[in-house]
Chains A and B, each alone.
Chain A
């Protein structure tokens, strides 16, 4: 598996391969092609960051630019999904959900239950999320906990190019609505990705580093920051296990508990705001189900309870970094183990 491509290319490849395989897959969103109705070239942008570039020329009927009309085109994707299509709807920035939440919260997420199990809504919402691009408060949020809170949705946050491709293919083939979140700081990340089609199942966390002393649970971009912290801590003889959740809904509770049972120590890292977050959710899970295994208080490393600031000086403070993770680990690590 020697071929390396970027996270962004992995997403593009997954879309292209699934569209070739299945005629019912189509893409809709603002500038997913770019140039519709303009005098210049079509496929001018291929998505605001070029993630869908090149798909329009191959699938002109199925790569649909939408006007700035999130309620309209997200709702259309939901409706089309109930009628035998498999839409991949791009919301661009996840923050824009403020414009169209109803179509996901009250429509797509509820259909199956509310209609007695007789409606299937195989919808994928793709959106960029996360801070780091100096994009300020309206283009940098996580919102993972908000999605995860909603029964009926699945929430996917791939951390690597391999997972991005396999989980997007799974999302497209999945028969439930899936919120597929792409961290904008990961688009250029390179990694090994098979050329073939494959799926990565939801609800299966990935042990990206095995360790004995402390469990670090995280997802998305923070997986890489946690690994950086773990490497630094290894030099101090603290052996961290790093668990990448991959999906926050469904949540791989078993792997979290299995790891904490082994280490007895937990640090949850969540780039999101702290209240009612993935971090608090996992902390509650472990406190409730693995209390006896805990040998120290649970630590959480999160963004503060503020919007995402613009200035780099502030944004760098806002985003959890390796130093903060290391400090949290050191607070609860057993120094006797470090002998």
Chain B
């Protein structure tokens, strides 16, 4: 069988990607899920993983070449195929691709906005069927924190990622800044979408929000996935939180964001610029300071909801080298605990494939 490997679309705004390096050469065997090449976008670099096993027979994009989303990168053959057959597939693909490229701007998933409880919430709704999964990002993040997870998870069910109040493109004004205010926003979105029962996954502060939802409305939460979650212990890197809240230029922000990743090279100028764009929006500074003050004042987490874990099937994922919230908060939880060695706080971005596999398997069981 002849498979085409194409330029992926990561997140909402990616329209093209630059080939960084091919990790496999023509003739190499590739396994499903294995990294074949590295692609760089204006937001982030990541590996393109083979969606199928086989032999890499053709490489059609050169290093440093920039190609639109959907463009043909290579051909992987499962079993046998002649060069003529491969050529025919390539020719057919390229003939059809022109029109796709023209639509690339308008096609693809797009986020929606809805007013919930007098406040605008943005969410991205991908996939169909099954018990839906809702993804909740952390402090200072947005739904793009699930860039490398949501599409993969959505292959098997409906997956909704939202921007919490004060974040992304949702309304910026907070009332109390308590976890309950954020969890009520999540519940409000579930009501709007008429979702009675969902799987919930939260990263960092989003984990605390997911736990708070589970506490407030246990019947609506089928399972919990907690990634580097807040709410499970007192420790938190207060210097990071303060530094992040205070940073108003590239040079002040960089040392903060570097702490989130195991590979500091991931913190590109573009990532910094994007984060600054968010932080410059009116109301964001106020919202972040409010949340920091209410939830994590003085570098100690003020809310402990460990007791909630275990009421639903729970998966806890942590990077062993998390510099923001220590992985030892996972100890003793009534949950499936997975510590990923060498990983940092943004483990779902940096070790996306591993996290996706763990979540897919966990969700399939529950």
Q: Are A210 and B269 in contact (CB under 8 A)?
A: yes
| B356 touches A (CB below 8 Å) | no
| A192 touches B (CB below 8 Å) | yes
| B249 touches A (CB below 8 Å) | yes
CA distance A254 to B252 in the complex (A): 13
| B248 touches A (CB below 8 Å) | yes
| B169 touches A (CB below 8 Å) | yes
A206 CB to nearest chain B CB (Å): 7
A residues within 8 Å of B by Cβ?
1-2, 162, 166, 192, 194, 196-201, 204, 206-207, 210, 231, 234-235, 237, 254
Which residue of B is nearest A237, CB measured? B64
Q: With a CB–CB cut-off of 8 A, which chain A residues contact B268?
A: 210
Q: Are A196 and B248 in contact (CB under 8 A)?
A: no
For the residues of A in contact with B, the DSSP-based class is loop
| B12 touches A (CB below 8 Å) | yes
Q: Choose from A200, A210, A231, A235 the contact partner of B280 (Cβ within 8 Å).
A: A200
A-B contact pairs, 21 of them (CB 8 A): A1-B13, A1-B277, A2-B12, A2-B13, A2-B110, A166-B280, A192-B13, A196-B281, A196-B282, A196-B283, A197-B281, A197-B282, A198-B281, A200-B280, A206-B273, A207-B269, A207-B273, A210-B268, A231-B66, A235-B64, A254-B251
Top 5 A-B pairs, shortest CB-CB distance: A197-B282, A198-B280, A207-B269, A198-B281, A196-B281
For the residues of B in contact with A, the DSSP-based class is loop
Q: Are B273 and A194 in contact (CB under 8 A)?
A: no
CA distance A196 to B251 in the complex (A): 25
B115 CB to nearest chain A CB (Å): 14
Which residue of B is nearest A192, CB measured? B13
Q: Are A201 and B277 in contact (CB under 8 A)?
A: no
Q: With a CB–CB cut-off of 8 A, which chain B residues contact A197?
A: 281-282
Q: With a CB–CB cut-off of 8 A, which chain B residues contact A166?
A: 280
Q: Which of B252-274 contact A (CB under 8 A)?
A: 268-270, 273
CA distance A234 to B172 in the complex (A): 41
Known interface pairs A196-B172, A234-B64. Does A2 touch B282 (Cβ–Cβ under 8 Å)?
no
CA distance A227 to B248 in the complex (A): 26
Contact bitstring B110-148, A, C-beta under 8 A = 1, else 0: 110000000000000000000000000000000000000
CA distance A194 to B274 in the complex (A): 12
| B250 touches A (CB below 8 Å) | yes
CA distance A198 to B172 in the complex (A): 12
